[in-house]
């Protein structure tokens, strides 16, 4: 039987609607929390399971956790636990929280592993170059001032004790700066908070420190971009499929000043007392913990393109180096990072 034209059109329209409805992807369940912390911002993307809800006070918990970390690790807060330790001129054991002892202990481990390229006592040099809590002055210090500050730098002059938790200086004016590990630690704590709330799929970041688990709101693995190390631009160098890992990039292209055509970055080599030269644009490291990725990326960046790469090879680190040439960037990376690269391994 032949259907009237109007009826047949209605049926076709209904079929089209049903087909489109079937093809339309389900709504993205991602819940996002953002805010300010540590002089930068945090970003949490949480993907709850079907029927699962995020606790109503979750962002309040996030903010409270970050405030606590700042009150422990910040050198910008003169009343933080770390600032009080730096102000203390005693050279015997000083009782500290288990949290501060743990982070300092990890910082000393990476200082030792990197042969001092990473040094958590570098604070006097960071402050001298204008990248610390004091008012920024964007001026190259004198050689005499650099030499004087270097005398106060040396991770071997700091000791830790686990039970009861304590730190000890071997010189009274030692100054500890944990800024190259604190953001990574914060990311690890935020990830733990998400898992405590029963969330098993998330992407957590504080500035460039990122930790991922599970999949995104479309059910796909989390994909992260390694940026080209170009100041004032956002361009992708490579894409990383992160999996259940942490990633950190250390570079000289975000925090720096220029004088007489020369760039001076916030990453300072403890051996020279000066910012790293512009031969290495950035180093990206992938590990299981953000705290370790954060510190290790800084260590390899400070160590430079040759010594840093050799350290990465010797310790079997998943590391990606972008070098700075006269006209273009170069890539160099360890075998351990190849499995994370989405766009092939042809440029090694």
Q: What percentage of the chain has pLDDT greater than the value 90? A: 68
Q: Average pLDDT for residues 153-158, to the nearest whole number?
A: 96
Query: Domain end: 135, 169, 203, which one?
Result: 203
pLDDT(268) > 70: yes
The verdict on 309 and 333 lying in the same domain is yes
Kind and range of the H or E run holding 67:
helix 58-73
The verdict on 232 and 293 lying in the same domain is yes
Q: How confident is the model at residue 266 (pLDDT cuts 50, 70, 90)?
A: confident
The verdict on 93 and 144 lying in the same domain is yes
103 part of a folded domain: yes
12 part of a folded domain: no
254 part of a folded domain: yes
Residue-wise pLDDT tens digits, 229-254:
776 667 788 999 999 999 999 886 56
The verdict on 326 and 195 lying in the same domain is no
CATH value at residue 325: 3.10.520.10
Residue 244 φ/ψ, nearest 5 degrees: -90, 65
Q: Average pLDDT for residues 182-193, to the nearest whole number?
A: 97
d(CA 90, CA 99): 21
Largest CA distance in the chain: 100
Q: Which residues fall within 8 angstroms of residue 32, CB to CB, at 6 or more apart?
A: 43, 44, 45, 46
38 part of a folded domain: yes
The answer to whether the CB of 302 falls within 8 A of the CB of 117 is: yes
d(CA 325, CA 280): 9
The answer to whether the CB of 64 falls within 8 A of the CB of 132 is: no
d(CA 266, CA 122): 11
Dihedral over Cα of 336, 339, 343, 348: its sign: positive
The verdict on 226 and 341 lying in the same domain is yes
Q: Average pLDDT for residues 140-150, to the nearest whole number?
A: 90
The residue whose two tokens read 């000043």 is 257
Q: Average pLDDT for residues 287-299, to the nearest whole number?
A: 96
pLDDT(8) > 70: no
pLDDT of residue 264: 66
Query: Domain end: 168, 203, 238, which one?
Result: 203
307 part of a folded domain: yes
The verdict on 165 and 185 lying in the same domain is no
pLDDT(347) > 70: no
13 part of a folded domain: no
The least confident of 9-18, 223-232, 245-254 is: 9-18
d(CA 165, CA 175): 19
User: In sequence order, which ranges of 223-320 are alpha helices (DSSP H)?
Assistant: 290-303, 307-314
Give 163 or 253, the one with higher predicted confidence.
163
The least confident of 46-50, 55-59, 62-66, 342-346 is: 342-346
Q: How confident is the model at residue 348 (pLDDT cuts 50, 70, 90)?
A: very low
CATH value at residue 167: 1.10.3980.10
Using left for φ > 0, alpha for ψ between -120 and 50, and beta otherwise, residue 108 falls in alpha
The residues with which 256 forms a beta bridge, in sequence order, are 265
- What angle do the packed helices 58-73 and 179-196 form, to 10 degrees? 150
The verdict on 64 and 127 lying in the same domain is no
d(CA 200, CA 204): 12
The verdict on 231 and 341 lying in the same domain is yes
The verdict on 238 and 333 lying in the same domain is yes
pLDDT(182) > 70: yes
21 part of a folded domain: no
Read off the tokens for 233.
């631009």
Residue 259 φ/ψ, nearest 5 degrees: -145, 125
Read off the tokens for 242.
């992160």
Residue-wise pLDDT tens digits, 93-127:
999 999 999 999 999 999 999 999 999 999 999 88
Give 225 or 325, the one with higher predicted confidence.
225
For 120-161, the DSSP string reads TT-HHHHHHTT-SSSPP---PPPHHHHHHHHTT--GGGEEEE
The verdict on 170 and 184 lying in the same domain is no
- The total domain count for the chain is 3
The verdict on 131 and 232 lying in the same domain is no
The verdict on 325 and 231 lying in the same domain is yes
Chain-wide mean pLDDT for the chain?
87
pLDDT(76) > 80: yes
Q: Average pLDDT for residues 183-193, to the nearest whole number?
A: 97
Using left for φ > 0, alpha for ψ between -120 and 50, and beta otherwise, residue 220 falls in beta
Whole domain around residue 105: which residue ranges? 87-177
């Amino acid at each position: 039987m032949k259907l009237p034209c109007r009826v047949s059109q209605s049926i076709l329209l209904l079929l089209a609607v049903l087909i489109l409805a079937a093809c339309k992807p389900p709504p993205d369940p991602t819940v996002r929390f953002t805010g300010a912390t540590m002089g930068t911002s945090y970003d949490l993307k949480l993907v709850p399971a079907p029927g699962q809800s995020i606790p109503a006070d979750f962002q309040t918990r996030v903010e409270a956790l970050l405030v606590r970390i700042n009150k422990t690790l910040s050198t910008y807060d003169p009343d933080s636990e770390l600032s009080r330790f730096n102000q203390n001129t005693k050279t015997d054991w000083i009782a500290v929280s288990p949290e501060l002892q743990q982070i300092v202990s990890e910082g000393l481990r990476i200082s030792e592993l990197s042969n001092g390229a990473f040094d958590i006592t570098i604070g006097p040099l960071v402050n001298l170059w204008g990248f610390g809590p004091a008012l920024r002055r964007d001026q190259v210090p004198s050689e005499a001032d650099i030499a004087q500050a270097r005398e106060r730098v040396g991770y071997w002059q700091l000791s830790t004790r686990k039970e009861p938790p304590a730190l000890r200086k071997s010189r009274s004016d030692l100054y500890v700066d944990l800024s190259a590990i604190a953001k990574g630690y914060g990311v690890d704590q935020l990830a733990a908070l998400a898992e405590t709330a029963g969330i098993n799929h998330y992407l957590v970041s504080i500035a460039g420190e990122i930790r991922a688990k599970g999949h995104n709101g479309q059910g796909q693995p989390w994909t992260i971009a390694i940026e080209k190390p170009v100041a004032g631009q956002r361009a992708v160098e490579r894409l990383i499929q992160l999996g259940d890992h942490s990633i950190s990039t250390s570079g000289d292209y975000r925090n720096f000043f220029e004088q007489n055509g020369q760039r001076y970055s916030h990453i300072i080599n403890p051996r020279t007392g000066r910012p790293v030269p512009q031969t290495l644009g950035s180093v990206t490291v992938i590990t299981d913990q953000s705290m370790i990725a954060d510190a290790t990326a800084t260590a390899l960046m400070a160590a430079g393109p040759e010594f840093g790469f050799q350290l990465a090879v010797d310790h079997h680190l998943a590391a990606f180096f972008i070098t700075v040439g006269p006209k273009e960037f170069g890539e160099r990376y360890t075998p351990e990072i190849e499995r994370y690269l989405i766009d092939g391994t042809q440029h090694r």
